[in-house]
Amino acid sequence: MMSNDCLFCKIIKGDIPGDIVEQTDSVLAFRDINPQAPTHILIVPNKVIPTVNDVSPDDENTLGHLFIVAKKLAEDEGIAEHGYRLLINCGAHGNQEVFHLHMHLVGGKPLGRMLSRNVREE
């Protein structure tokens, strides 16, 4: 496992606490500290891939695994039937805050449109 000192690496290493809901050989899932919906979980590969722009063919299994974990967690959270949103932000225009690729699992209420109408152009 590659690691560095980013926030999510510290949670993966146990150096700072996280509300962990699932751990597999290649990913850790924990609740977002600032949830945008009743369920808001971050699914994070152990391997540090900063952004989607850094993805390589070697990452195919790990990235596919994010969906397997997301599906399981949606069932565990009781949100599978009504639906949910899976989201990966990339870079500045994607509003990515933590540069360790991660998938957001968001649900538990109607989520509205995919993008808010009030985003200001830079």
Active site residues: 102
Q: Which of 24, 98, 108, 111 binds ligand 5GP (CB under 6 A)?
A: 98
Q: How would you class 49 by CB atoms within 10 Å of its CB: exposed for 0-12, middle for 13-18, buried for 19 or more? A: buried
Say which residues have a Cβ less than 8 Å from residue 10's Cβ, sequence separation at least 6.
16
Is 95 a binder of ligand 5GP (CB under 6 A)? yes
What is the amino acid identity at position 63? Answer: L
Q: 121 phi and psi, to 5 degrees?
A: -70, 140
Q: Is 96 in the site for ligand 5GP (CB under 6 A)?
A: yes
- Contact stretch for ligand 5GP (CB under 6 A) within 21-29, 56-64, 67-75, 95-103: 95-103
Binding site for ligand 5GP (CB under 6 A): 7, 18, 30, 32-34, 42, 89, 95-98
